[in-house]
């Protein structure tokens, strides 16, 4: 796959005909789990944070890789959470009590609850970083139909300075019946993750691309679609930003 | 283009068979199909069917593994504004299979 953003040893592996190159790492559950682990933001205790930030009087929509246990816990505590998760494999662990609040497409949520129904939209982890600049402009425009008149969007950004100093060029992890290798590289304004595994049954490489934004850039983009924003938390590894929909 | 049309036709036929099993006493007509990109950038295919009692909407979403598509079925009774989710299914080898029934509170 000539266009796949593979580097170093991952690129070499990807050039062999017997090695399958996945253009979507979610196609392999091991890659998916490894991605979730490597992209975690350990600086934030999510449960404590969401308990402080969210209100039980509000209707909240989550989009992105949200920990199923966290979803169950907060839902059981009375938070009115809805989740849009396109990949069924990422829903393992969601309690059957709350599956009726889980959707795959935003259109289906709107069919069920109407337009402008959510007080808050939360993108966990660095979900926002999956969008390129062009996609981000569309995203900010499109989610307006989901948020109430004064709805708010919560996103997290990597602290770029810290990330540049702590990028992992190569590491490995044992998972089930195989060893996975992964590496990170900063290429301009992108963080590229490469993954490789070899098991008895298969040999694959995969990749994920995240776009690096600093808070001021994100605020500028959001402003174009009528949002104002503020930094809720400026940490060592992550910034938490809140964006308010304007009329 | 022929492939797309053939795919839609097969999906539609599968939906009709599925509906006939769930609602054997009702007669449904196909209303429309749409392929839409949602607010988050995901592409879904939606097929709508109608009887005198209700409207049914199937939403198909491809999965990264490509082994099957994820399908949601929702209904809207005559006179109501919003859809209620009925079940989640999978679409595999041109056949719909129930995955789980959606239970509300």
Q: Which of A232, A165, A180 is nearest to A38 (CA)?
A: A180
pLDDT tens column, B4-63? 888 899 999 999 999 999 999 999 999 999 999 999 999 999 999 999 999 999 999 999
pLDDT at site B105 = 58
Tell me if B40 and A142 make a contact (CB, 8 A cut-off). yes
Buried b (16+ CB within 10 A) or exposed e, B40-56: bebebbbbbbbeeebbb
Q: Is the model's pLDDT at A175 over the cut of 90?
A: no
- What confidence tier does B77 reach under pLDDT thresholds 50, 70, 90? very high
Which of A104, A146, A202 best tests the B interface by mutation, with the highest count of B CBs <10 A?
A: A104
Q: Please state whether beta strands A190-198 and A178-187 pair in parallel, antiparallel, or not at all (unpaired).
A: antiparallel
Which secondary structure element, helix H or strand E, spans residue A246, and what is its range? none
Q: What is the pTM of this model?
A: 0.93
Average pLDDT, chain A: 94
pLDDT tens column, A118-158? 999 999 989 999 999 999 999 999 999 999 999 999 999 99
pLDDT at site A38 = 81
Chain B residues in contact with A25 (beta carbon < 8 A): 64
List phi, psi (to 5°) of A178.
-150, 165
Dihedral (Cα; A120, A123, A125, A130), 10-degree rounding: -160
Q: Is A231 on the interface with B (CB under 8 A)?
A: no
Q: Is the model's pLDDT at A60 over the cut of 90?
A: yes
The alpha-carbon gap from B8 to the nearest alpha carbon of chain A, in Å, equals: 19
Higher pLDDT, B60 or A40: B60
What is the value of ipTM here, to two decimals? 0.92
Q: Is the model's pLDDT at A2 over the cut of 60?
A: no
pLDDT at site A42 = 85
The arrangement of secondary structure in A46-157+214-245, i.e. its CATH architecture, is: 3-Layer(aba) Sandwich (3.40)
For the purposes of burial, counting CB atoms within 10 Å of the CB of A92, is it exposed (0-12), middle (13-18) or buried (19 or more)?
exposed
pLDDT tens column, A74-101? 999 999 999 999 999 889 999 999 999 9
| B58, B52 contact by CB (below 8 A) | no
Domain assignments of chain A as residue spans, ordered by start:
8-39+161-211, 46-157+214-245
pLDDT tens column, A159-170? 999 999 999 899
- Closest residue in B to A135 (Cα) is B41
Query: Which residues of B make CB contacts under 8 Å with A?
Result: 36, 38-42, 44, 46, 57, 59, 61, 63-66, 70, 72, 74, 76, 81-85, 88, 100, 102-105
pLDDT at site A177 = 79
Chain A residues in contact with B103 (beta carbon < 8 A): 96, 99-100
Q: CA-to-CA distance for B40 and A142, rounded, in angstroms?
A: 8
């Amino acid at each position: 796959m000539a266009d796949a953003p593979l580097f170093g040893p991952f690129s070499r592996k990807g050039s062999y005909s017997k090695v399958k190159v996945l253009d979507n790492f979610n196609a392999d559950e091991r890659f998916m789990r490894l991605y979730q682990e490597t992209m975690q933001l350990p600086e934030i205790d999510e449960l404590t944070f969401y308990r402080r930030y969210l209100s039980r009087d509000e209707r909240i929509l989550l989009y992105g890789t949200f920990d199923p246990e966290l979803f169950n816990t907060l839902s059981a505590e009375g938070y009115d959470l809805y989740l849009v998760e396109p990949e069924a494999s990422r829903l393992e662990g969601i309690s059957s009590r709350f599956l009726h609040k889980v959707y795959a497409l935003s259109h289906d949520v709107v069919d069920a609850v109407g337009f402008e129904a959510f007080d808050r939209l939360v993108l966990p982890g660095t979900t926002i970083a999956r969008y390129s600049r062009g996609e981000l402009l569309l995203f900010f425009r499109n989610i307006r139909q989901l948020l109430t008149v004064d709805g708010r969007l919560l996103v997290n950004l990597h602290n770029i300075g810290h990330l540049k100093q702590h990028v992992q060029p190569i590491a490995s992890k044992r998972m089930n019946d195989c060893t996975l290798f992964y590496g990170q590289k900063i290429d301009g304004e992108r963080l590229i993750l490469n993954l490789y595994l070899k098991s008895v049954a298969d040999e694959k490489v995969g990749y994920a691309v995240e776009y690096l934004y600093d808070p001021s850039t994100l605020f500028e983009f959001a402003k174009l679609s009528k949002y104002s924003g503020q930094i809720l938390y400026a940490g060592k590894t992550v910034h938490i930003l809140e964006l308010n929909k304007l009329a | 283009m022929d492939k797309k049309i053939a795919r839609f036709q097969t999906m539609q036929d599968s939906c009709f068979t599925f509906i006939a099993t769930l609602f054997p006493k009702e007669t449904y007509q196909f209303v429309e199909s749409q392929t839409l990109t949602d607010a988050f950038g995901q592409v879904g295919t939606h097929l709508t069917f109608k009887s005198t009692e209700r409207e049914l909407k199937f939403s198909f979403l491809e999965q990264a593994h490509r082994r099957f598509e994820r399908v949601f079925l929702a209904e809207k009774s005559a006179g109501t504004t919003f859809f209620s989710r009925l079940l989640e299914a999978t679409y595999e080898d041109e056949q719909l299979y129930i995955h789980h029934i959606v239970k509300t509170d």
